[in-house]
Structure 1
Amino acid sequence: MNPLKRILGFARPHQKYLFLSIFFNLLYSLLNIFSVATVLPILGLMFGTVEEVNTSARPQYSGDFSDFFAYLKDAVYYNIQLSIDQKGVTYVLALLCITTAFAFLLRNIFRYLGAFLLVNYRVGITKDLRTAMYKKFLVLPVSFYTEQRKGDMVSRISNDIGSVEGGIMGALVDIINSPFMIISSLVTLFILSPQLTLFSLLVFPVMGFLISVIGKSLKKQAYQAQAELGNLFSIVDETLKSAKIIKIFNADKMLLRRFNQSTENWKDYSIGMSRRRELASPTSEFLGSVTILLITWFAGVEIINHRSMEPETFIVFIALFFQILDPAKKLSSAISSIQSGLPALERVSEVLDYDLQVHEAPNAAPINDFEKEIEFRDVGFYYDTD
């Protein structure tokens, strides 16, 4: 069975936590846009760039969806102007700041609830996966344990499942949160300035290509590291079970050489994997910083030459784009973590998919009682040729 399909099968009983988490993350994304959008009139009032709105006629919505956001902006500034006329600029500025603070509070509460529910989702799947593997251990034939090293099996049920939880299940928070944040922020950026948004997106395909290259190289290193860790556990298991024999034959130096070689191999694989994984986040951050500088240059030319954007709109645009960089960086790190966790999931799946080999005949006759004797005919014993 495909390892990812197996995870989805274990996830089915815990779907309620996932759906609730998605709901709270949607609210978090909406409030994130609202909290940043409320900064726009605050900056306009501070810079004195908010033009006085004619309050004699309320803005009217044409019914066309393309005019909805323009109508929404006019309606907001209309109500702000009414409040300014009635209670003054200072009062309106204080009210907007309080509203923004409350939006930030609600946003972070929803963010916590979304992450909290995903913890239940992640831990529940990990628990079921470990239980399924232990049940498999109980039904596997004795021949399996003669072919496989016990230390490697201990490593699979402990370290490999731990890597699945930390690498794949742990990345679920960012895999679910980040797309909502990126999409909602991009929609808002398009509303603020379509030209500037299209210009800023030019670097994203380059970023995605570099992260995918790093992620693919992680998978091979991670599998080798997990396999070597299983070998290391096997050496420890053999040493503890055969301590007397090791002492009798003075084999401690030989085993120490094997252990040192195994730990050295594991260290090399782990260092190589960590280097590539840690490279993903700085790469995305650097590309994002370059994008910010290019946006600043492009917007600066537009503002200086054509006065096509108010200063407060540009500041909010940059703030929103910075909010995209963090989830984009987390998303790239999550993809790298999943790539490093997949080899561990494949090792766990090898045990869960192992054929029991001992199959009962479809028309086997049941034996209800024992009458005389059991006779073995033409039964022999031999060692494997290798």
Structure 2
Amino acid sequence: MKEYRRFLKFLKPHSGLLALAVAFMAVSSLFDWVSIAMIVPVSDKVLNNGKIIFPLKLPPFLESLISAANAVSQQQLLGLLIFAVPILFLLKGLFNFLYSYYMSAIGQLCVRDIRNLLYAKLQSLSLEYFTKRRSGELISRITNDVKLVENALSYATTDLFYQSFLVILFTVTIFWIQWKLALFSLLIVPLIALPIVKVGKILRKISRTSQEKMADINSLLVETINGVRIVKAFSMEDYEVNKFKGQNHGYYKLSMKSIKRSLILSPATEFMGVLAGVGVLWWVGKDVIAGRLSFGVFGLFLGSLFSLIRPLKKLSQVNSINQQALAANARIYEVLEVPVTVRETASPRELPRAPRVVEYRGVSFKYQDAQILKDISFSASAGETIAIVGPSGSGKSTMLDLLPRFYDPQEGEIMIDGINIKDTSLKSLRQQFGIVTQETVLFNDTVRANISYGHLETDEKRIEEAARIANAHSFIIKLPRGYDTVIGDRGVMLSGGER
């Protein structure tokens, strides 16, 4: 139940829109019921010129309505129905469009919100989190998992309300006409509910495994597309293709397991409903023959009973979709609930530009169980050049990563001009540094945007000045659109030297 509550939290900001859509569903479902109820006057009065007969005393307003219908001629009633039926279906179509449109809008709004939340959360996490997760796995959370949640929030929620309204209307109808027979017919409901619950639990487990398999596929795609030069250099295309086929086939098998279990529910519930319908036909048929019940009212009873089959089938599918979505929802919350390890204090200080002294005091850092740095102490003043040397893996990069607070040390403190960097705002701290990474990182944006990244307010003159200092201005102006040229993923439009 807790998982359902967390799942429904995404609907809360759009509760007003949801209430409006549900109201439209209620009206549309009422039109569905009226279209079935039309059997009574058409069959009893228009086609047979008989009387509408109910086996029980009706409320006064219904009694007067039926008396009026019985009093008019066949021709008059036929003319009335010919006028009313097109209007009825026009209104039904209108309300059907309205609730479908608003529920689709709610689904898309929820997808937008979830993706925004996930992306903002990922941006707030420290580098430590990303060293423990594959890129493809995180991409899968924002794409595949969110899509499964959308199916539940949009389509499954629509069916949950709409089909429930139909179940209520048709159930009330059959109980109203013949409650003993209705009770007998609905005794079969527990036989339908049991397999739905059991299959639902299995589907949730399969769905979680299939989502993890999709994360593996996304990771493989990210690795091989980013590393396509290496793949081709070592002629490993066939190896990577076979590796992908294996992952893809694994996902196919899991999908088919889920599909098989979902599809088996529909014919099972339909068969149970038909059994109930056959029993009703045998029981009520005798009352129609004896004249205690008009054929039209019997048709309404049978039509309402058989009309319960479709919404019950739909509701069984809702359960299947929801179980898959709950598994995806749990994976989404795994990201949303990750604690932010590098965070600002309640009232961070703004670090002034051009600091004079950086000091490490007894800094120690562990990555999981591996001790990377232990009791590091030194200071560096403005204008000094300090070389940090050591073998690969000795912690040189980690020591520098602590300075802009990509990580926080477990022990010790880092001071800038006597101010602990944990007491400063992250933005003012990180604005102190220029970073040249070991790997060239460029974004799929213009040359101008890449140069001014982190300083979006920088004017054209300073951008060109920076390019000249880096000896890049001469080739930039030769690009198709100069500084406004989009350079592609990771700067693929540029040569290695130009990057």
Q: What is the TM-score when the length of structure 2 is the normalising length?
A: 0.67
Matched, 1:330 2:314: yes
Matched, 1:119 2:108: no
Which of 110, 120, 123 does residue 138 from structure 1 map onto? 123
Q: Name the structure 1 match of 2:203.
A: 218
Which of 269, 273, 297 does residue 284 from structure 1 map onto? 269
Q: Name the structure 1 match of 2:258.
A: 273
Contact 1:38 1:100 in 2 (8 A): no
In 1, the alpha carbon distance for the partners of 2:365 and 2:15 equals: 52
Q: Structure 1 residues 51 and 216 mapped into 2: Cα distance closer, same or farther (>3 Å)?
A: closer
Shift of 1:385: 6.3
Deviates more, 1:31-40 or 1:172-181: 31-40
1:221-232 map, 5 Å: 221-232=206-217
Q: Per-residue displacement from partner, 1:29-50 (whole Å, max 9, x unpaired)?
A: 3333333333312211222331
1:280-359 map, 5 Å: 280-304=265-289, 307-359=291-343
In 2, the alpha carbon distance for the partners of 1:7 and 1:382 equals: 36
Q: Name the structure 2 match of 1:19.
A: 19
Residue identity opposite 1:27 in structure 2: V
Q: Structure 1 residues 255 and 301 mapped into 2: Cα distance closer, same or farther (>3 Å)?
A: same
Contact 2:39 2:299 in 1 (8 A): no
Q: Structure 1 residues 48 and 247 mapped into 2: Cα distance closer, same or farther (>3 Å)?
A: closer
Determine helix, strand or coil for the equivalent of 1:49: coil
Taking every aligned residue pair, what percent have the same amino acid on both sides? 26
In 2, the alpha carbon distance for the partners of 1:96 and 1:242 equals: 70
Name the structure where strand makes up a greater proportion of residues: 2
Q: Structure 1 residues 169 and 106 mapped into 2: Cα distance closer, same or farther (>3 Å)?
A: closer
Matched, 1:209 2:203: no
Which of 159, 177, 186 does residue 144 from structure 2 map onto? 159
Which of 135, 155, 161 does residue 176 from structure 1 map onto? 161
Q: Structure 1 residues 383 and 213 mapped into 2: Cα distance closer, same or farther (>3 Å)?
A: closer
Q: Structure 1 residues 72 and 358 mapped into 2: Cα distance closer, same or farther (>3 Å)?
A: same
Runs of 5+ unmatched residues, structure 2: 371-499
In the comparison of the two structures, how many residue pairs are matched?
Answer: 367
Q: Per-residue displacement from partner, 1:202-249 (whole Å, max 9, x unpaired)?
A: 111111111111111110101000001101111121222333444556
Contact 2:163 2:312 in 1 (8 A): yes
Shift of 1:314: 1.1
Contact 2:52 2:70 in 1 (8 A): no
**RMSD of aligned residue pairs (Cα, Å):** 2.8
Q: Name the structure 1 match of 2:77.
A: 92
In 2, the alpha carbon distance for the partners of 1:122 and 1:112 equals: 15
Shift of 1:104: 3.2
Shift of 1:252: 5.2
Name the structure where helix makes up a greater proportion of residues: 1
In 2, the alpha carbon distance for the partners of 1:343 and 1:75 equals: 54
In 1, the alpha carbon distance for the partners of 2:111 and 2:326 equals: 14
Q: Per-residue displacement from partner, 1:288-332 (whole Å, max 9, x unpaired)?
A: 22221121122224445x554222211121112222222111111
Determine helix, strand or coil for the equivalent of 1:180: helix
Matched, 1:185 2:178: no
Higher relative contact order (CA 8 A, sep 6+): 1
Q: Name the structure 1 match of 2:413.
A: none
Shift of 1:82: 4.2
Contact 1:24 1:114 in 2 (8 A): yes
Q: Per-residue displacement from partner, 1:109-152 (whole Å, max 9, x unpaired)?
A: 22222222111111111111111111112111111111100011
Determine helix, strand or coil for the equivalent of 1:171: helix
Runs of 5+ unmatched residues, structure 1: 53-65
Contact 1:168 1:342 in 2 (8 A): no
